Structure 1
Amino acid sequence: MKKAHLFMLLISPIMLLTACQSSQTNSTTTSKASTSSSSTKIETDTSGLLGSYSESDLDDSYDESSATSIALSDNVKISGEGASTDGKVVTITKGGTYIIEGELSNGQLIVNVDKTEKVHLVLNNTTIKNDNGPAILVEQTDKAIITLAKDSKNTVSDGNDYNLSEGETEPDAAIFSKDDLTINGEGSLNVEANYSNGIRSKDDLTLISGNYTINAKNNALKGKDSVSIKDGTYHLTTKEGDGIQANNSTEEDKGFIVIDNGDFTIDSGRDGIQAETALSIQQATFTIKTGGGYNTKQFDTNESYKGLKASKITLLSGSYTLDTLDDAIHSNDSLTIKNGDYTLDTGDDGIHADNSLTIDNGNITINHSYEGIESSVIKLNGGNLLITASDDGINAGGSSEDDGTGQFGADSFGKGGTPPGQADDSKSLEITGGTITVNASGDGLDSNGSITMSGGTVLVYGPTDGGNGALDYDGTFNLTGGTLITTGTSDMAMNVSDDSTQASVGIYFNTTQSANTLYSLTNNEGKSLVTFKSKKEFQHLLISSPDLTNSETYTLLTGGTTAEKDENGLYQSGTKTNGQILSTIKFDGTNILNVDQDGNTVQGGIGMSGGMGGPR
């Protein structure tokens, strides 16, 4: 997939063309009484928006006195110029504004004007049903603008067979446009797309406002060059396609989707939102289910059922509730999360990027996943992350070819793990801030290269079975700041690297320690530096804190009670317990210490900075 460069330059304003020119008509044309202007103008301040919206896109006003009126029925009546009828087919041949009302059964509205002209269609309680093709077909125009009149209820639908000539695949949508298409207004639009797509533009598709309910066999909203959404309410249901799609793969500045606001409920047979190049979102609210949800058992592994999918993804803000059979958020290149609230349930990866993934802020909860967060390069700078994974919690690299993979197989960059003792310099995990809690059945933090941590709080509930560890890195783990607590098995346990400047202690226990029990590390004065309640049983414990020094003796207490409230098992520093002494730990001037339960210094196995295969 080519790299995308999403241009955010605003299109120069284009005034809406409303003058209707003369046209011949096969039906009776009557004169129309003059009426006052109607509708209101949408807010035109485009500062801070991701999308480029022209003045004509934002203008949902129209002048009834100069517009052509089309009254749909078994006997269509046209008042004004620029339109004609042939039975139940209404054709618009001149640029201008057309107010359309009434119901047309097994008919069609066609727009075919000069390429330099714009057409403004006002749907005012309009119903168009066509059993053999699109309800609205835009053959040619500079731009078609559909306004949903205030408080109006409009419906378009097609049949399940278009009777196209052999070799033809288009048109293929209930509303189909060969040129730019914009929809605005304060009404509602219901689309029943039985043949294929709901609303499709072969150029740019722009949605400004309105309330949409679309049931489509294939894609609900599709723009070849782009889809730009400023606001609105969307209920999108698809059987075999995506909720929203932009699919131009031949021009790197096209094939993008931008969403500035709106409320989206998407239940899709394939991807929720899929952009060929770039996907950028802010402010909007999403509830997305793909492929029947994360727990679906029968599906086609050759298909894609991702929640958000693009080459490049930028999420500035918004609320996301994603229940996806495949990855919840998937980038084929780079992914940046600036802020927002995320609740993810997925049958594969929670958040995945092939090349780089950056999280600056936000509240991210991954309730179900195969791997929680995965990319070649991961940077975690802030936010509150709560990750549950049946395999690795956070993985910088790819899973081993010998290991089990998610239900959709290994991702494109994951050609297998790094051979023992060989680090992959292209893989890295960097933690500078945030609060990160990982509950993983595989490795908690895994990097085929290096790990660095300079700030934040990381709490890892690692595996309870052998073969994986709370930490797993092939290069180095350089720790210079923050609080790190990990629990897991002892056979694959690792500490941080010896050149870390912050003190860290790894403790190997004689017996398995119980879950849901208080553990507190106190200094000589009895002050608690770290208090936590593990969600899982463990045989190895790692603790590092800025308050830990390499020249003091500490006591690890177990059991007891506290009146304080925990955050995912971690209590505030200084929390007191009345537990029993489990271990006494004496630092001897070295920053990195590994001891057994009795406080005796031990040496780990492979890579000793931590150890694999238990203490020696």
Structure 2
Amino acid sequence: MRKITKKTLFYTGMLVLLAGCSTETTGQSSNQATTDATNTSTYQTSNSSEQTTETKYGNYKNEDFDASYDESNAAAISFSKSEATVKGEGVTTSEGLVTISSGGTYLLSGSFEGQVVIDAGEETVHLVLNGVSIKNPTSSAIYVKQADKVITTLASDTKNSLEDGADYNLSSEEDEPDATFFSKDDLTINGTGELTVKGNYNNGIRTKDDLVIVSGTITIDAVNNALKAKDSLSIAGGTFDLSAASGDGIQVNNTEDTEKGWIGIDDGTFSIQAGNDGIQAETDLKIATAALSIKTGEGAAMSNPDSETSYKGLKAGNALIIDDGTYKIDSADDSIHSNNTITLSNGTYDLASGDDGIHADNDLSITDGKITVSTSYEGLEASTITIAGGEHLITASDDGINAGGGSDSSEGEGQFGADSFGGGPGGGDQADESKLITITGGFTVVHAQGDGIDSNGHIKMTSGTLLVDGPTNGGNGALDYNGEFVQEGGILIAAGSDGMVQATSDTSTQPSLSLYFNQTQQANTLVNLVVDDKQVLSYSPSKEFKNIVISTPEMKDGSTVTISTSGKNSGTASNNLSLGGTYTEGTLIGTYTLVDTITSIDQDGNAVSENQMGGPGGF
């Protein structure tokens, strides 16, 4: 007898404990190893040395990680065309049909034209795909009618494939099965082999219960959804190449139970091409880390998309949380979207969107990371937006960062209509106290054709750097708020047209200078700032501008400020900003004294009255 044991499953950041089949692991490990005997076949766990698993958001049992099997105790099913040869018990066969009716381990190999049905009551079935190809022209390739759980192992160094037909033989009252690999109960996939699924009828892999994927290389090409579960999806690792022509790449859709309908991803590499959403969770979508590439629809450049169809990259009905990872998303709709809250702790994001780069109906919190929104209608949008750190470059055809709605002068609402937001009413000159943009750190650059930073309520900045290259038209402003913009620290530079200028509010503790030039300054014109004879910075806006608002920690009430243009700065520029350095060859615009929290003047030193739209309010 030959016992085959895969002692370890490797995937990024994971070490797995192969232990008792009944113990759940949610970031925990177990030292127990058990044997579960069912009928004449035995599903055995590994007795290899102790290992640990670090999982955060998925819900796993130790048996999910166990890809080992004892060939001597397994029922071997060998296929040839529409025939099957069976060594072992628990299996019945007829031409084009194999039925597994009891728990145990089943080893599948060869090429089969037909269907494998699992109908094992409340028992666990361990299905080992050991170089098998199953093609069924009239229904699912594998159909799990009933089992406590089916654990599917992709045997090491094997290639496996499943394919269904474009038409199923279903009665008029039936709508299931509807996937190449269809399960009515819990389904787990593990192992280090490969699985290719062709879904010609509807979905690729679907379970009406919980789906767990631990490892493996999985390729799915489906006419509708590639991966679909009802109650939950947990992914500990693996490599995924998913194509969903008219559906979602990954979908979990339980709308009946708020404790279900979630997706937890702890690791993995994903390439997703979806006709609709890339990854969609009815409730929570939580990712510890992943390397993820998504394209939805025809990408951000998609013209005239169906406004009633969702083409979002990452989509959650409730909380969307990402701890780390790399994310490249080219989406016809929002790249990252939640109907409630979004929390981004770290990670690298390369987003191109036909609508919003990142949208949360309620709160958006960015702790760290690097976010690049290369194209969007609005870059970041939520009721409240907090940026605490990271490096971010936001490009938008309308508002760059928006708390609570589109710009007042915008004629459109994006390709998908107006967004929904939590909180109270706002708009016009009335401040919505529920809308707030808070910047406490980081380096954020905004390029916007509409308002650069727009809040229907308030803005508060205590630290960090915010550079805004705002609109060139007079109907929008680099800064736009209905309440107050309280500046308590950090570097703020906002350049744009002179039609709708707002500087910071007079409740700020750090002064600002709002300077109106006599002539429009050309794009990339260097603006240099000296405060009290100290060289502070040089900045060159990427678009033409006639007004610039500057606030830095060096600026105090009574400070003397010198502004020059053109010239050179010897310092190293980051996003067109040079701190310190030596400035030469410039043209002096003027030297001014800061006599109040807001000094708003033209370049000749004459006071200019600005559009301070805020009414009563505050923090």
TM-score clears 0.5: yes
**2:195 aligned to 189, 194, 211, which one?**
189
Partner of 1:4: none
Distance of 1:284 and 1:180 partners within structure 2: 24
**2:352 aligned to 333, 340, 345, which one?**
345
Distance of 2:29 and 2:614 partners within structure 1: 63
**2:434 aligned to 426, 440, 447, which one?**
426
Distance of 2:603 and 2:224 partners within structure 1: 61
| 2:126 counterpart of 1:102 | no
The answer to whether the 8 A contact 2:524-2:542 is kept is yes
Distance of 1:16 and 1:521 partners within structure 2: 71
SS of the equivalent of 1:554 reads: strand
The answer to whether the 8 A contact 1:213-1:235 is kept is yes
Distance of 2:145 and 2:49 partners within structure 1: 27
**Cα–Cα, structure 1 residues 80 and 266, in superposed 2: closer, same or farther, change >3 Å?**
same
**Cα–Cα, structure 1 residues 318 and 419, in superposed 2: closer, same or farther, change >3 Å?**
closer
Partner of 1:554: 561
**2:499 aligned to 491, 495, 505, which one?**
491
Partner of 1:500: 508
**2:331 aligned to 318, 324, 337, which one?**
324
| 2:487 counterpart of 1:479 | yes
The range that moved more, 406-415 or 387-396, is 406-415
**Cα–Cα, structure 1 residues 429 and 73, in superposed 2: closer, same or farther, change >3 Å?**
same
**Cα–Cα, structure 1 residues 427 and 127, in superposed 2: closer, same or farther, change >3 Å?**
same
SS of the equivalent of 2:564 reads: strand
Partner of 1:395: 402
SS of the equivalent of 1:73 reads: strand
Partner of 2:524: 516
Distance of 1:328 and 1:187 partners within structure 2: 32
**Cα–Cα, structure 1 residues 9 and 207, in superposed 2: closer, same or farther, change >3 Å?**
closer
Letter of the aligned partner of 1:458 in structure 2?
A: L
> If the length of structure 2 is used for normalisation, what is the TM-score?
0.91
Partner of 1:307: 313
**Cα–Cα, structure 1 residues 43 and 574, in superposed 2: closer, same or farther, change >3 Å?**
farther
Deviation at 1:259, TM superposition (A): 0.7
The answer to whether the 8 A contact 1:132-1:159 is kept is yes
Letter of the aligned partner of 2:130 in structure 1?
A: N
The answer to whether the 8 A contact 2:458-2:483 is kept is yes
Distance of 2:47 and 2:197 partners within structure 1: 24
Deviation at 1:9, TM superposition (A): 4.7
Deviation at 1:114, TM superposition (A): 2.0
Partner of 1:123: 129
SS of the equivalent of 2:63 reads: helix
**Cα–Cα, structure 1 residues 20 and 100, in superposed 2: closer, same or farther, change >3 Å?**
farther
Partner of 1:534: 541
The answer to whether the 8 A contact 1:359-1:381 is kept is yes
Point out where structure 1 has 5 or more consecutive residues left out of the alignment. Answer: 1-6, 24-33, 610-616
Distance of 1:432 and 1:131 partners within structure 2: 59
Deviation at 1:562, TM superposition (A): 2.6
Partner of 1:92: 100
The answer to whether the 8 A contact 2:370-2:392 is kept is yes
Letter of the aligned partner of 1:409 in structure 2?
A: G
Deviation at 1:528, TM superposition (A): 1.7
Partner of 1:168: 174
Letter of the aligned partner of 2:401 in structure 1?
A: I
Partner of 1:252: 258
- What is the percentage of aligned positions where both structures have the same residue? 50
The answer to whether the 8 A contact 2:58-2:233 is kept is no
> If the length of structure 1 is used for normalisation, what is the TM-score?
0.92
**2:220 aligned to 214, 228, 231, which one?**
214
| 2:616 counterpart of 1:598 | no
The answer to whether the 8 A contact 1:399-1:416 is kept is no
**Cα–Cα, structure 1 residues 576 and 10, in superposed 2: closer, same or farther, change >3 Å?**
closer
The answer to whether the 8 A contact 1:520-1:577 is kept is no
Deviation at 1:400, TM superposition (A): 5.5
| 2:571 counterpart of 1:564 | yes
Distance of 1:112 and 1:130 partners within structure 2: 18
Partner of 1:230: 236
The range that moved more, 596-605 or 451-460, is 596-605
SS of the equivalent of 1:522 reads: strand
The answer to whether the 8 A contact 2:28-2:55 is kept is no
Distance of 1:530 and 1:22 partners within structure 2: 78
Partner of 1:21: 39
Partner of 1:296: 302
Deviation at 1:515, TM superposition (A): 1.3
The answer to whether the 8 A contact 1:225-1:254 is kept is yes
Letter of the aligned partner of 2:264 in structure 1?
A: V
Letter of the aligned partner of 2:197 in structure 1?
A: V
The answer to whether the 8 A contact 1:391-1:443 is kept is yes
Partner of 2:343: 336
Letter of the aligned partner of 1:491 in structure 2?
A: G
The range that moved more, 566-575 or 218-227, is 566-575
The range that moved more, 325-334 or 420-429, is 420-429
**Cα–Cα, structure 1 residues 569 and 450, in superposed 2: closer, same or farther, change >3 Å?**
same
Point out where structure 2 has 5 or more consecutive residues left out of the alignment. Answer: 1-23
SS of the equivalent of 2:64 reads: helix
The answer to whether the 8 A contact 1:18-1:95 is kept is no
Distance of 2:542 and 2:519 partners within structure 1: 17
SS of the equivalent of 1:56 reads: helix
Partner of 2:4: none
Deviation at 1:218, TM superposition (A): 0.6
Count of aligned positions: 587
The answer to whether the 8 A contact 1:39-1:150 is kept is no
Deviation at 1:529, TM superposition (A): 1.5
Letter of the aligned partner of 1:550 in structure 2?
A: D
Partner of 1:29: none
Distance of 1:361 and 1:384 partners within structure 2: 8
The answer to whether the 8 A contact 1:256-1:279 is kept is yes
Partner of 2:20: none
| 1:133-156 CA-partner distances (Å, limit 9, x unpaired) | 110001111100000000100000
Partner of 2:370: 363
**1:372 aligned to 350, 369, 379, which one?**
379
SS of the equivalent of 2:321 reads: strand
| 2:276 counterpart of 1:281 | no
**1:76 aligned to 84, 91, 94, which one?**
84
